């Protein structure tokens, strides 16, 4: 099988388009919304909804489709600002869940508004994590009970750390995909996903988290109190499998988990964007100070700073190539569970090291708020945590390589 790392002309066009947006629309307001956490970045939201999500030169046609382009978008826009990227009106994780486990009719019903021009900005979100269920998604306690009289599902429980949860739960047309169990005795086989439209009675926005980084994003806590949704809003089958659903083809928990196969390469691309922002700035500052990186010099002759920069570049490129591989597999319909976790684990670790090293090399000024480097260091760490922590993704990689089920390797 031939491997080609050259981007297509369409992908190059998309890359340039999104970089221009990052430079002109995001960087100028990056510090503003880092300092004004929980304020809606109106100018950014309006720009993205009305112009940014469409093609170049004001045309309404969309840019090249494809998962690699989605990852290019994530890298370039997170080079601009990761928090603003997470705040832009898109289907986001909720859309990934619908695409992974929903029917053709559900995809059309819940996703169509995101493809239309005009209207007001809308968001999608996914609600998985609970106060007592973090990395172990199978431990969730939010319940869904079916009412045969009304043919509705009734959701009860609390979800925390919902990215884009504020916008998705309050802006008309938006939706939240909620993970809940319909049969606790069945374990993960009883876990299903439900689409809850914004402003549905019984879904309450409790508040948003105050965070170390990605402060422009809305990370919400949502409470579900006898929240009723139509039976048609269940993603996948209502059938409960008592055995391990990964071995039976069940589309409940397995379909929900497939969301991560799509979202983890995007998070890896986001991490790459933040890491590249810090590395680009560091190299520019070193050049301004007359420090040149000698790529052709023997290793024994390199200075400590040169070795650091070259290592940072190698880490970044490795993360990017793993990300593109996982994205390419997604594009071609290949199972990418292993590759998605590899990309996510590598990128999360790489961006944390790169941004910390950039701050260290720049010294006190790098640690101060005179520059955005300290912000990038704060924005970086979340990429090593959400969508599965570093440890969880390494565990997944080990299981896939060794062909061990979860019960045999924890």
**Residues identified as active-site:** 387
Strands (E), 322-378: none
379 with 274: CB under 8 angstroms?
A: yes
> 301: which DSSP letter?
G
Cα–Cα distance for residue pair 316/276, rounded to 1 Å: 7
- Nearest by Cα to 198 from 177, 226, 225, 215: 177
Name the CA dihedral angle for 6, 7, 13, 14, rounded to a multiple of 10 degrees.
Answer: -150
- Nearest by Cα to 329 from 321, 339, 320: 339
- Nearest by Cα to 273 from 402, 83, 126: 83
Strand duo 175-181 + 124-127: pairing: parallel
Structure tokens at 220: 């919400």
Question: Using alpha carbons only, what angle is made at residue 116 by residues 125 and 205, rounded to the nearest 5 degrees?
Answer: 25
122 with 173: CB under 8 angstroms?
A: yes
Question: Using alpha carbons only, what angle is made at residue 52 by residues 49 and 56, rounded to the nearest 5 degrees?
Answer: 140
């Amino acid at each position: 099988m031939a491997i080609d790392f050259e981007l297509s002309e369409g992908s190059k066009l998309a890359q340039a388009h999104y970089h221009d947006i990052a430079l002109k629309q995001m960087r100028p307001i990056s510090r503003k919304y880092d300092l004004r956490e929980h304020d809606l970045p109106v100018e950014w939201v309006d720009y993205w909804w009305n112009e940014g999500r469409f093609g170049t030169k004001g045309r309404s046609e969309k840019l090249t489709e494809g998962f690699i382009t989605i990852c290019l978008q994530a890298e370039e826009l997170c080079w601009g600002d990761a928090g603003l990227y997470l705040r832009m009106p898109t289907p986001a994780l909720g859309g990934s869940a619908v695409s992974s486990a929903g029917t053709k009719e559900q995809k059309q019903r819940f996703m169509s508004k995101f493809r239309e021009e005009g209207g007001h900005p809308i968001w999608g979100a996914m609600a998985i994590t609970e106060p007592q269920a973090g990395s172990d998604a199978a431990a969730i306690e939010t319940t869904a009970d079916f009412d045969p009289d009304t043919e509705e599902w009734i959701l009860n429980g609390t979800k925390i750390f919902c990215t884009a949860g504020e916008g998705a739960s309050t802006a008309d047309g938006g939706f939240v995909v909620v993970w809940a169990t319909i049969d606790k005795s069945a374990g993960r086989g009883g876990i299903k996903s439900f689409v809850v439209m914004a402003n549905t009675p019984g879904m309450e926005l409790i508040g948003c988290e105050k965070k170390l980084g990605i402060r422009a994003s809305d990370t919400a806590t949502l409470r579900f109190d006898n929240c009723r949704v139509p039976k048609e809003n269940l993603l996948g089958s209502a059938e409960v499998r008592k055995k391990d659903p990964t071995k039976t083809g069940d589309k409940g928990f397995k379909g929900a988990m497939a969301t991560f196969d799509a979202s983890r390469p995007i998070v890896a691309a986001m991490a790459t964007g933040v890491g590249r922002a810090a590395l680009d700035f560091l190299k520019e500052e070193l050049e301004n100070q007359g420090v040149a990186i000698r790529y052709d010099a023997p290793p024994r002759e390199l200075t400590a700073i040169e070795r650091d920069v070259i290592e940072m570049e190698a880490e970044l490129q490795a993360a990017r190539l793993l990300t593109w591989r996982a994205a390419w597999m997604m594009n071609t319909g290949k199972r990418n569970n292993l590759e998605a976790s590899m990309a996510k684990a590598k990128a999360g670790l790489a961006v944390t090291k790169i941004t910390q090293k950039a701050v260290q090399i720049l010294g006190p000024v790098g640690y101060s708020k005179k520059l955005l480097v300290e912000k990038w260091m704060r924005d970086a760490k979340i990429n090593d945590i959400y969508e599965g922590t570093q440890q969880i993704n390494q565990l997944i990689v080990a299981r896939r390589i060794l062909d061990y089920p979860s019960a045999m390797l924890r």
